[in-house]
Amino acid sequence: MIKSIFFFPLLLLFPFFLKADILTNQDSIHIGASMSLSGAYATQGIAANNGYLLCGEHLNVRGGLLGKPIKFIIHDDESDSDRAKEIYQKLVEDKTINAIMGPYGSTLTEAVAGITESHQMTMISPLAATSSIWEQGRQYLFMVLPPAELFLAGLIDLADQQGFSRIAILQEEQLFPEAAGNGAAKLVRKRGLELTFHQSYSSGKSNFSDIIQTLKNQEVEVLGMAASSLSDFILFVEQMNEENLQLKMFGTSGAVDQFQKELGPLAELTLGLSAWEPGLNNPGIEEFTEDFKNRFGVNPSFHAAGAYGSCMLLAEAIKKAESLDQDKIRQELLEMETTTIFSNYAVDERGYQTANKGLFIQWQNGKRVIVWPEEEANGKLLIGY
């Protein structure tokens, strides 16, 4: 039995299916999705889920879409690909569902994309970034994040600027981390830096001592780590501290507040990819940030902002199309160039993101400081991890 949560007055709207150009007799537009509310991706999934919900609330306060409120129905996929496939198969067969939104992350998006594609249902993916997903001839899937291969680009660029040349890349054996890690390794070689270590590890690894010892022996200066689970980053930092691994710089493929809350002083000077920060000058960002904190009691992460911004992209596409017809929505998304609270948005003919390049933050005195790219930085990089 699929676990589900029903949200009525909220609703999020996202691009998705509805081949019909005429609304049903329903009093509201029904949006179906799965999200990782439990399991390995729950930290990111819950944040994204809340971003969806806030977007739905904001849209309904403003009158909904096409004269109707949005009704959002979301199921917990438990961070499991098979569960996600089961959910989306039932969603596409449910005649009361008017549109579909994407799940969290590359692994689950890849798992369900074939289902939505076969039914010609438009789906904006708020938090999938692996390029291979968009290299399979799909026409109804849209990317919002910067490509995964660039998730550690800021770390490599900063290391090069500082004159550090001995670089290591560690990646989890999952779709997104491997794309991010392999992309970073390619950038290291392109810069003419020394890739002293490049290794994958199995999901669920509980002891990184062997890897840490190898990094010590190779006198690595900079380490980039790509993982899909926050717990991997936390465990690695704890064990790295216990075994006194000395690095000049350490960066992760995702920066969230829970990392600093869990590690406290051990998080200091760690770098991390953030596709979004509340200090950016994007339209509507102050309202979103304030309302999110008031509504959910925590500051929004980029996962929350990505979901919210993607929801608003769908809303804009539907308004421009004046329709829920999937082909009309798809065409609007292909042609659209805009900036949401999350980021700049523009895609190529594949629905592949071309405008969002991401940010790198560093934890300094317990605070997030943007240190890359230079034009967005609000502080200076500190060395001596």
* Domain coordinates in residue numbering, the chain: 4-145+279-345, 149-277+359-376
Residues β-bridged to residue 360: 273, 372
Between 260 and 15, where is the model more confident?
A: 260
Residues β-bridged to residue 166: 194
How far is it, in rounded angstroms, from Cα 340 to Cα 356? Answer: 11
To the question of domain 149-277+359-376 being in CATH 3.40.50.2300, the answer is yes
Q: What is the mean pLDDT of residues 9-24?
A: 38
What percent of the chain lies above the pLDDT cut of 90? 82
The chain-wide mean pLDDT, for the chain, equals 91
Q: Which helix (H) or strand (E) holds 304?
A: helix 302-321
pLDDT value at position 72? 84
Mode of pairing for the β-strands spanning 359-364 and 29-35: unpaired
Instruction: Decide if 4-145+279-345 and 149-277+359-376 have a common fold.
Output: yes
pLDDT value at position 21? 42
How far is it, in rounded angstroms, from Cα 147 to Cα 275? Answer: 11
Q: Are 147 and 351 in contact (CB under 8 A)?
A: no
pLDDT value at position 5? 40
Q: What is the mean pLDDT of residues 81-95?
A: 95
Q: What is the mean pLDDT of residues 295-308?
A: 94
Q: What is the mean pLDDT of residues 323-346?
A: 95
Which amino acid appears at position 341 of this protein?
I
Q: What is the mean pLDDT of residues 124-150?
A: 95
Residues β-bridged to residue 272: 252, 361
pLDDT value at position 24? 52
The confidence band for 25, taking pLDDT boundaries of 50, 70 and 90, is low
Fold of 4-145+279-345: Rossmann fold (3.40.50)
